[in-house]
Amino acid sequence: MAVTATDTHRAIDAVWRIESARIIAGLARIVRDVGLAEELAQDALVAALRQWPESGIPDNPGAWLMATAKHRAIDVFRRNKRLERKHEELGRELQAQQEMAVPDFNAALDDGIGDDLLRLVFVSCHPVLSTEARVALTLRLLGGLSTQEIARAFLVPESTVAQRIVRAKRTLSEARVPFEVPRGPDLAPRLSSVLEVIYLIFNEGYSATAGEDWMRPALCEDALRLGRILAELAPDEPEVHGLVALMEIQASRSGARVGPSGEPILLLEQNRARWDQLLIHRGLGALQRAEELGGALGPYALQAAIAACHARARIASETDWRRIASLYDALAQVMPSPIVELNRAVALAMAFGPAAGLEHLDTLASEPSLQAYHLLPSVRGDFLSKLGRFAEAQAEFERAAALTRNARERELLLDRARACAAVPPPGPQ
């Protein structure tokens, strides 16, 4: 079969996806500027797109791209006499590399490539950048996504993403953010910024429902991949494994959480045969690694442990709700939030009966952030109806229906309110 230019372009895309992060990371170590490194790598990509359709794809495409990008770097430095010293350094490195046999390229690059990638992760998620900028830059530099792909994933114009990336690179350069892995007291907050970015990418994909645009579920895969990379780069950080575990287990339910006409299916009603056992297996493995590293579990590992309780139950009625309730208790301590408390009330009700749930829920009644949150009256209505207090339950379901913005959910809540109203009030038989 003849290899056409289109085939070659598609093959180049594939090579780029595999190699780009390592190339950008390796270049950033040399030029000490992530923005410049990314531009040099792009130049090499453009050169490949021009040359490979005619010359064919080289035996070691990654090495070719890296060598080409380093040549570009030398050109840039030549024009920039002030950086003479770096130029020499780079020349030596390039010469040394050319002397090596090509197949040894990976071995040479491996030396510290993991460190380079880890530095790239931390720089892309640096707190000087806005959250949107961190997300765009991380997907671009580490995920190998094009600006167009990122724009499609987040349903924003391509020019917006392009601008975000340009500004982010400028900000990093102006702030003289060093290309390094933070140490000491800086590490924990910087790592949590990285985890936040990855989980945000995941949720952006996970909250998308079925439709013609399947690019958003692909975002879950990108986030999972980034998480798995991070777990290999920073294997001693329990929260990294915790995040990976949480994402793997949540992603395992993707095929079960949307009905045939796009309607969401709640966890307890999902067909568990449709859960992806491979991802569950990976998730439980990652959670085990987080636990084995010792110490108290962090917020991601705790959420993963809760997700694992559901994953381990073959049918919904086998769920270990006592364990889930105690995990929410632990989660509330490391990550206090009214939403966590609300979930804890649900777990308590499932474990110990609706009265226990209601008791906990009523401690949240005055919580200001929950005043307009439809799930509070909705959950309260559920507990009350299970306790046979139908008149009160009806009022709660009606209140919840008035608060929700989702039409489908409103219909469901009004149905439940009507069902409560249909129950005759208790009286003498």
Partner 1 sequence: MRFMMLVKSGENQGLPPKELMDAIAKLAEEANKAGTMIASGGLAPTSMSTRVRVSRGQLTTVDGPFTEAKEVVGGYAVFELKSKEEAIEGALRFMELHKKHWSGWEGETEIRQIFGPEDFPPKA
CB under 8 Å to 124, separation ≥6 — which residues? 34, 134, 137, 138, 141, 142, 197
3 state DSSP class of 258: strand
Total number of residues that touch partner 1 (CB under 8 A): 33
Note whether 221 binds partner 1 by CB under 8 A.
Answer: yes
Q: Which is nearer to partner 1, 72 or 216 (CB)?
A: 216
CA distance linking residue 221 with residue 380, whole number of Å:
36
Using CB under 8 A as the binding rule, whether residue 263 contacts partner 1 is answered as no
Distance CA 331, CA 225 (A): 26
Residues in CB range of 135: below 8 A, 6 or more apart: 154, 197, 200, 201, 204
When asked if residue 115 is in the footprint of partner 1 (CB under 8 A), the reply is: no
Closer residue to partner 1 (CB): 18 or 96: 18
User: Of 112, 255, 264, 338, which lies in the binding site for partner 1, with binding defined by CB under 8 A?
Assistant: 255
Q: In whole angstroms, give the CA distance from residue 227 to residue 194.
A: 10
Overall residue count recorded for the chain in this entry: 429
Residue of the chain from 127, 262, 285, 353 that contacts partner 1 (CB under 8 A): 262
Residue (of 297, 362, 355) closest to 329 by Cα position:
297
Say if residue 254 is exposed, middle or buried (CB neighbours under 10 Å; 0-12, 13-18, 19+).
Answer: middle
Q: Of 212, 407, 424, 427, which one interacts with partner 1 (CB under 8 A)?
A: 212
Report yes or no: 141 and 33 within 8 Å, Cβ to Cβ: no
Q: For partner 1, give the closer residue by CB, 103 or 178.
A: 103
Name which position in 5, 14, 100, 268 contacts partner 1 (CB under 8 A): 14
Minimum CB–partner distance for residue 428 and partner 1 (Å): 53
Site for partner 1 in 277-296 (CB under 8 A): 278-279, 282
Candidate ranges 7-15, 35-43, 351-359, 420-428; the one touching partner 1 (CB under 8 A)? 7-15
Q: Strand, helix or coil at 60?
A: coil
**Amino acid type, 366:** S
Given 163, 254, 352, 410, the residue binding partner 1 (CB under 8 A): 254
Residue closest to 387 by CA, chosen among 342, 421, 424, 353: 353
Q: Which stretch binds partner 1 (CB under 8 A): 88-96, 157-165, 219-227, 315-323?
A: 219-227
Nearest to residue 246, comparing CAs of 154, 331, 319?
331
Residue 361 burial by CB count (10 A; 0-12/13-18/19+): exposed, middle or buried? Answer: buried
**Contact region with partner 1 (CB under 8 A), list: 23-31, 223-231, 316-324, 350-358:** 223-231
> At 83, is the secondary structure helix, strand, or coil?
helix
- Pick one of 214, 271, 295, 425: the residue that binds partner 1 (CB under 8 A): 214
Q: Is 232 in the site for partner 1 (CB under 8 A)?
A: yes
Cβ-based nearer residue to partner 1, 54 or 59: 59
Q: Shortest Cβ distance from residue 397 to partner 1 (Å)?
A: 30
Which residues 77-106 are close enough to bind partner 1 by CB under 8 A?
103, 106
11 binds partner 1 (CB under 8 A): yes
Our CB check for partner 1 shows the closer of 25 and 349 to be: 25
For the segment 15-74, give every residue that binds partner 1 (CB under 8 A). Answer: 15, 17-18, 59
Structure tokens belonging to residue 71: 């040549």
Interface pattern 124-143 for partner 1 (x via CB under 8 A): --------------------
Helix axes 375-386, 354-361, angle to 10 degrees: 150
- From CA 68, how far away is CA 61, in angstroms rounded? 10
Regarding 224 and contact with partner 1 (CB under 8 A), the answer is: yes
Closest distance of CB 67 from partner 1, Å: 18
Residues that bind partner 1 (CB under 8 A): 10-11, 13-15, 17-18, 59, 103, 106, 114, 210, 212, 214, 217-218, 221, 224-229, 232-233, 254-255, 260-262, 278-279, 282
